[in-house]
Amino acid sequence: MKQALLILLLVCSLHFALSLRVGIYDNPPQVYLLDGRPAGLYIEVLEKIAKENGWKIEYVFATFPEQLENLKTGRIDVLVSIAYTEERAKVYDYNSEALLLNWGVICVQKDFQYRDITDLAGKTVAVGKGDVYGQAFLRELQRYSVSVDLLELPDYPDVLRAVRERRAVAGVVSRIYAVQNHEKFGVKITGTIFSPVELRFAFPKGSAINATLIDKIDEHLRKLKSDHEAYNSLIARYLGMEKRVIPPWLATLLLVTGVGLVVFASWTLSLRVMVKLKTKELLKANDELKQLNEEITAQQQELSALNEQLENTYARLESSLKRFGDVLSFLSGISPDVSREDFYTMFLSSAQRFDSNALVVLMDDDVCYLLEDGSMKKTSVKGLTLLHDRKKLLDLVSEALKINFEAVVYDVSKDGETALLFLYKDHVTYCVEEDLAKALCSVLTIYTKLKKHEEALASLSEGVTRAFLRALEFHEQHTAKHSETVKNYAVKMAVKLDLDERWVRLISCAALLHDLGKLAIPSTILNKPGRLSAEELQLVKQHPVIAAEIIRHIKGLEEVAEIVQHHHERWDGKGYPDGLSGEEIPLGARILCVADAFEAMTSNRPYRKAMSISEAVSELINNAGKQFDPNLVLIFLEILKEEGVMVVES
């Protein structure tokens, strides 16, 4: 009886006259000092709880490492905004409800060229002493066998200050702190993220008042998060996000999406290391891609100089050859999108108009091109490349073309790879001057350089696309095969629409990469035999956004990213992720929508068997003008007819 009375008195005293020593440190916007007074998201929430329960709060300010020691020794009763980990849970007690989800990011100097964590090898990196993200970063370094000079500092402001002052190339902080403060410290946030954790309240292990504190704090947080408008408004005030009212399921979705993104980033890095360590062939391919990228960078610099040369050439032609302006007007439309043979045909046809008595010959990489009765003729001539000897060059051309000529006006590019010749069978007063031949050869050289540059970029894009597709095969073999089939349908539709070669190539690339975001989705969800839960479905719906975010960072694939992001939009505006409708949806995305849906319907899935062709065609027709662009459905049906597939007529 006496013991029960004592326990009752203890509980009452805790509820009505509890004094708490609360540990705080500098980590805005969660907790910080504003004009010497405690402030921040966690302070506001804790003070509301204290007011509701009649608690008195005494704040103790110190560095984060000092507060961890204070909590361990019981010099403080509560520590706010501390990441929950299983290791820390062995040392401290935690409440159950989290106010925020956070993860670690790497911030670097603005002028530092960062691609992945291996770029930090041999560099100085700042981390917070005892910080959970700093510890996760060290594990990542060990996993990739990367060695850095570690600079341990008390708090996040000290970490980013070290980067700004160039005492460190990079610093590891929380995502929230980085987003709120990277501009203040003049640093940039990289795409490397890791260690998703919940930010909770922590207490000395086994303290007698913990049960009461945890119960009241969790009760308040559950009530706060159930009021979505109030919770969103509170978060928006501190994190700077737009205030809006969202559906009830979004809180869970945000948590799942955040964890999914971090898991995806960690999984991608793990896959890269696995490939580097176990697959020599892929390692070699990766090295070749890097080398090709360096070559393209050099070509871009050369291209800039060539563009300047082109402007000067146009100026000279305009002043000296105005009478031939109508013949040369097509030169302003030079584009690497035009095939070599089509361009050479136009070029030779126009050049021939300068002098009808001349036989115009174009040479490129040991091949001679000329027009005979309006048709292109090609002849291989070994030894032409890099040949500047006039007599030997003309002898080789004469022998290869089986013609004799008495006079010639010609010019050879500086690299010796291209040349333009005006051949005459007898001595005449020819109209073509050497300056004209030189100017035309310069234009020809610029086109070939542009074409080679475009082909190099296309090769790089193809290599990157195939590398990503290979990664998909590691994660889910069905998705990679599905992407190949969708690509075949999409390319046929693009050709049917008379899209140019460049757009056909972009749509082909988008089709191969449209499901790249599924790398972030656990295979257990992708292969689930039954119906997905609401949370699982919302996670799957993130894959177009994730894929687009990855692709958008690859130079030359920005338009591909736009197609991929919107391939699940609907014609009636009920799709995702942005709810676009009609022609607001990019044409490439509308093409993928039809091709993707048809392939999915006619393929077996873990949760259903494949439809017949007739059933799938009926679905397309029934949803034309709802889910699909009706014109594209008609075009797709034409393709199926041409391939001999039975089509249900509407």
- Encode pLDDT of 72-109 as tens digits: 999 999 999 999 999 999 999 999 999 998 989 999 99
Q: How far is CA 61 from CA 23, 33, 37, 67, 494, in A?
A: 6, 9, 10, 8, 64
Is 423's pLDDT higher than 70? yes
User: Which domain does 306 fall in, by range?
Assistant: 296-451
Query: Would you say residue 213 lies in a domain?
Result: no
List, for residues 370-396, the tens digit of each pLDDT value: 777 777 787 877 765 555 666 777 777
Q: Please indicate, yes or no, whether residues 415 and 562 belong to a single structural domain of this protein.
A: no
Matching residue, tokens 């504003």: 34
Query: Would you say residue 274 lies in a domain?
Result: no
Convert 417-479 into a string of H (helix), E (strand) and C (coil).
Answer: CEEEEEEECCCCCCCCCHHHHHHHHHHHHHHHHHHHHHHHHHHHHHHHHHHHHHHHHHHCHHH
- Tell me the pLDDT band of 250, cut-offs 50, 70 and 90: very low
Q: Which carries the bigger pLDDT value, residue 463 or residue 224?
A: 224
Q: Please indicate, yes or no, whether residues 373 and 443 belong to a single structural domain of this protein.
A: yes
The pair of structure tokens assigned to 480 is: 């990679």
Q: Please indicate, yes or no, whether residues 519 and 429 belong to a single structural domain of this protein.
A: no
**CB neighbours (10 Å) of residue 647?**
17
Query: Would you say residue 171 lies in a domain?
Result: no
Pairwise CA distance, residues 620 & 634, whole Å: 9
Q: Which carries the bigger pLDDT value, residue 623 or residue 308?
A: 623
Share of the chain above pLDDT 90, in %: 40
Is 478's pLDDT higher than 50? yes
Q: Please indicate, yes or no, whether residues 554 and 605 belong to a single structural domain of this protein.
A: yes
The model's pTM is 0.40
Q: Of 504, 493, 499, which Cα lies nearest the Cα of 642?
A: 493
Q: What is the pLDDT of residue 474?
A: 59
Pairwise CA distance, residues 279 & 426, whole Å: 64
- Over range 478-504, report the average pLDDT: 87
Q: How far is CA 542 from CA 261, 413, 470, 473, in A?
A: 10, 52, 21, 20
Helical H segments across 151-194, by residue range:
156-164, 175-185
Q: Please indicate, yes or no, whether residues 421 and 523 belong to a single structural domain of this protein.
A: no
Pairwise CA distance, residues 150 & 139, whole Å: 13
Q: Please indicate, yes or no, whether residues 310 and 357 belong to a single structural domain of this protein.
A: yes
Pairwise CA distance, residues 318 & 141, whole Å: 61
Pairwise CA distance, residues 200 & 212, whole Å: 16
Q: Please indicate, yes or no, whether residues 482 and 545 belong to a single structural domain of this protein.
A: yes
Is 456's pLDDT higher than 80? no
Q: What is the pLDDT of residue 323?
A: 42
Is 520's pLDDT higher than 90? no
Q: Count the helices and strands in the chain (H runs, E runs).
A: 24, 16
- Over range 133-145, report the average pLDDT: 90
Pairing of strands 124-128, 149-153: parallel
Q: Please indicate, yes or no, whether residues 421 and 515 belong to a single structural domain of this protein.
A: no
162 within 8 A of 86, measured Cβ to Cβ = no
Pairwise CA distance, residues 78 & 76, whole Å: 6
Q: Of 416, 459, 451, which Cα lies nearest the Cα of 306?
A: 451
Q: Select from 401, 418, 451 the last residue of a domain.
A: 451
Q: Please indicate, yes or no, whether residues 480 and 522 belong to a single structural domain of this protein.
A: yes
Q: Select from 435, 451, 467 the last residue of a domain.
A: 451
Q: What is the pLDDT of residue 243?
A: 40
The partner residues of 34 in beta bridges, in order of sequence, read 37
Question: Domain containing 364 — which CATH number?
Answer: 3.30.450
Query: Would you say residue 320 lies in a domain?
Result: yes
Q: Please indicate, yes or no, whether residues 494 and 562 belong to a single structural domain of this protein.
A: yes
Q: Of 488, 512, 496, which Cα lies nearest the Cα of 563?
A: 512
Out of 341-355, 372-386, 464-478, 594-608, which region has the weakest mean confidence (pLDDT)? Answer: 464-478
Is the bond into 29 cis (omega within 30 degrees of 0)? yes
Exposure of 45 in the CB half-sphere (CA atoms within 13 A): 31
List, for residues 549-602, the tens digit of each pLDDT value: 988 887 778 899 999 999 999 999 999 999 999 999 999 999 999 999 999 898
Q: Which carries the bigger pLDDT value, residue 308 or residue 213?
A: 213
Q: How far is CA 206 from CA 203, 472, 650, in A?
A: 8, 48, 73
Q: Please indicate, yes or no, whether residues 546 and 409 belong to a single structural domain of this protein.
A: no
Map residue 589 onto helix, strand or coil: helix
Out of 32-36, 334-338, 404-408, 528-532, which region has the weakest mean confidence (pLDDT)? Answer: 334-338
Q: What is the pLDDT of residue 385?
A: 53
Q: What is the pLDDT of residue 24?
A: 96
Q: Which carries the bigger pLDDT value, residue 304 or residue 514?
A: 514
**CB neighbours (10 Å) of residue 558?**
13
Residues 6+ away with beta carbon under 8 Å from 224:
45, 230, 231, 234
25 within 8 A of 155, measured Cβ to Cβ = yes
Query: Would you say residue 173 lies in a domain?
Result: no
Pairwise CA distance, residues 370 & 401, whole Å: 10
Query: Would you say residue 427 lies in a domain?
Result: yes
Query: Would you say residue 594 lies in a domain?
Result: yes
Q: Which carries the bigger pLDDT value, residue 370 or residue 262?
A: 370
Q: Of 212, 301, 207, which Cα lies nearest the Cα of 14?
A: 212
Q: Please indicate, yes or no, whether residues 505 and 626 belong to a single structural domain of this protein.
A: yes
Is 54's pLDDT higher than 90? yes
Q: Which carries the bigger pLDDT value, residue 45 or residue 405?
A: 45
Query: Would you say residue 563 lies in a domain?
Result: yes
- Buried b / exposed e along 135-150 (16+ C-beta atoms within 10 A): bbbeebbeebebebee
Pairwise CA distance, residues 80 & 25, whole Å: 9
What is the 8-class DSSP label of residue 333?
G
Number of folded domains in the chain?
2
- Tell me the pLDDT band of 14, cut-offs 50, 70 and 90: very low
Question: Domain containing 505 — which CATH number?
Answer: 1.10.3210.10
